[in-house]
Amino acid sequence: MSTPEIVFAGSGGGALTQIADYEAVGGFAALAKARAMTPDEVIAELDASNLRGRGGAFFPTGRKWSFVPKPDRIAKPHYLVVNADESEPGTFKDREIMLRVPFRFLEGCLIAAHAIESKHVFVYIRGEYEQEFEVLVAALEQMKARDLLGDVTVVVHRGAGAYICGEETALLESLEGRRGQPRTKPPFPAIAGLYASPTAVNNVESITTATAVIELGGAEYAKLGVENSTGTRVFSLSGNVVNGGNYELPHGFPLRDLIYGVGGGIAGGRTLKAVIPGGSSTPILTAAEVERVTLDFDSLTGAGTAIGSAAVIAIDDRCCMVQLAVRVSQFYEHESCGKCTPCRVGTRWLTSILQKIEDGRGSQADMDLLLSVAERINGKCLCPLGDSDAIAVASYVDKFRDEFQAHIDEGGCPLHGSSSLDHVLAPVAMHTHHHAREVVPL
């Protein structure tokens, strides 16, 4: 089927890193159009498009911008902060957007800055994306040479390895030169964000898509996709599929067609066991559920999960679900910033209990303890990092309880020796973000 390209339009599968090439496919027309409009008119187009945030929370972009007070109401500088700290396991779309269409992204930054009446843009890019950082800086130089920035300054700020900085208030703390720990909300960033000033924080794909919304017009953009999930989405497909990669498709695309069609099916002729549909934080789907859902907000929410960051991880029948739970939980344990006790301590407990079950030392009481700890993390912290661990692990238990039970009944892992995640090492010799006391394994 033919699919419209919005984000990657004009790139022809390659990269538009020279400004002349981008202009040849209509680049910067949207910026000129937006600058001829009032900020409120730009926001009205975004509202008409119903573009919703691509970072994971799916919050309407236009509404987010409209929350930033007018300069005459708060006489402080206004800031646009772009979240390019993509770190959710399974997600790798923003890097490809920055590599292939850096100008469309930067054009979107200037459009957003115009909409919220800001002269200062900060792009917070994850430290591991060195090449992407260089591409953005080179693109900015070309735009400066053309005087496209006007009186707006754009600073590309590199992170230094901390998943938590993808959480918007932790990101702002980090950008202010502090440890990346989430803030209490309210106040929300729109009122008191960067340097306690009005701030909009948007994801890379949202900002890049905003360029297309202005170019096409909001109503036209809204014709793509499905109700409540307009437009296209860059889906990151990974795991045990033949063709992993980023695919721009309209919202509402059937999940099974992404995996078996676009993705070429399950590698090695094996069978699909489960799919994580929206990044590691989202509840897992069984192979049977995969047949029934489409890739949009309503369908995935209806199936008890979420579209999240649109990162689809396919898992074949070799994988032990307890090992998967251990590995996912290790990640969140490592990435906990340590600020809230339920997350700092709870993620460690989840990992320890899961490891005990995997090793065949688990009892029935450990299953209850596992779910009880998950319950005690969920919703009790400043940010959703701990919840992500709790919700993901609880979903594995819910959907694959027999497999957890078999570990307890058989006193060991039924798939040991053949599981694709056998012995996978969690990171060692990285410092944890917090310095909790050494805990003796359960």
Rounded Cα distance between 275 and 396, Å, is: 11
Per-residue x/- mask for other proteins, residues 166 to 185, rule CB under 8 A? --------xxxxxxx-----
Q: Is 433 in the site for other proteins (CB under 8 A)?
A: yes
Per-residue x/- mask for other proteins, residues 395 to 424, rule CB under 8 A? -------------------------xxxxx
Q: Which residues are paired to 232 by β-bridges?
A: 250
Which residues between 243 and 262 bind other proteins (CB under 8 A)? 244-246
Q: Is 429 in the site for other proteins (CB under 8 A)?
A: yes
Provide φ and ψ at 153, rounded to 5°. Answer: -100, 140
Q: Is 428 in the site for other proteins (CB under 8 A)?
A: yes
* Residue matched to tokens 């735009």: 143
What are the tokens at 99?
């590599």
Q: Is 33 in the site for other proteins (CB under 8 A)?
A: no
- Tell me which stretch binds other proteins (CB under 8 A): 8-16, 59-67, 119-127, 397-405: 119-127
245 versus 360: smaller Cβ distance to other proteins: 245
Q: Is 189 in the site for other proteins (CB under 8 A)?
A: no
- Tell me which stretch binds other proteins (CB under 8 A): 203-211, 223-231, 309-317, 351-359: 309-317
Provide φ and ψ at 422, rounded to 5°. Answer: -50, 130
163 versus 349: smaller Cβ distance to other proteins: 163
54 versus 120: smaller Cβ distance to other proteins: 120
* Neighbour count for residue 152 (Cβ, 10 Å): 15
239 versus 252: smaller Cβ distance to other proteins: 239
What are the tokens at 345?
């301590």
Q: Is 143 in the site for other proteins (CB under 8 A)?
A: no
91 versus 305: smaller Cβ distance to other proteins: 91
Q: Which of 411, 405, 402, 343 is nearest to 374 (CA)?
A: 343
210 versus 274: smaller Cβ distance to other proteins: 274
Q: Using the rule CB under 8 A, which residue among 30, 319, 367, 374 binds other proteins? A: 319
Q: Is 316 in the site for other proteins (CB under 8 A)?
A: yes
Task: Give Cα separations from 163 to 87, 330, 334 (angstroms).
Answer: 5, 13, 9
Cβ 433 to other proteins shortest distance, Å: 5
Per-residue x/- mask for other proteins, residues 208 to 237, rule CB under 8 A? ----------------------------xx
What are the tokens at 294?
């489409």
* Residue matched to tokens 């002729």: 269
Q: Is 278 in the site for other proteins (CB under 8 A)?
A: no
Task: Give Cα separations from 395 to 260, 284, 370 (angstroms).
Answer: 24, 6, 12
194 versus 224: smaller Cβ distance to other proteins: 194
Task: Give Cα separations from 420 to 27, 292, 317, 409 (angstroms).
Answer: 45, 26, 9, 22
Q: Which of 79, 84, 36, 40 is nearest to 63 (CA)?
A: 40
Q: Which of 44, 42, 50 is nearest to 222 (CA)?
A: 50
Q: Is 163 in the site for other proteins (CB under 8 A)?
A: yes
Q: Using the rule CB under 8 A, which residue among 13, 186, 269, 427 binds other proteins? A: 427
264 versus 302: smaller Cβ distance to other proteins: 264
Q: Using the rule CB under 8 A, which residue among 430, 438, 440, 441 binds other proteins? A: 430
354 sits in the region (left: phi over 0; alpha: psi -120 to 50; else beta) called alpha
Cβ 72 to other proteins shortest distance, Å: 20
Q: What DSSP letter does each residue of 54-102 carry, written as one string?
A: TTTT--BHHHHHHTSPPTTTS-S--EEEEEE---STT--HHHHHHHH-H
Which residues between 320 and 379 bind other proteins (CB under 8 A)? 324, 327-328, 331, 334-335, 337
Q: Which of 230, 6, 30 is nearest to 112 (CA)?
A: 30
Q: Using the rule CB under 8 A, which residue among 4, 10, 127, 261 binds other proteins? A: 127
Cβ 154 to other proteins shortest distance, Å: 10
Query: Does residue 312 sit in helix, strand or coil?
Result: strand
Q: Would you say 306 and 278 are in contact if contact means Cβ atoms under 8 Å apart? A: yes
Kindly state the number of chain residues that form the binding site for other proteins, as judged by CB under 8 A: 68
Which residues between 74 and 93 bind other proteins (CB under 8 A)? 77, 86-92
Rounded Cα distance between 199 and 329, Å, is: 32
Q: What Rg value do the Cα atoms of the chain yield, rounded?
A: 22
Query: Rule CB under 8 A: which residues touch other proteins?
Result: 77, 86-92, 95, 120, 126-131, 155, 157-163, 174-180, 195, 236-240, 244-246, 276, 280, 311, 313, 315-316, 319, 324, 327-328, 331, 334-335, 337, 420-431, 433, 435
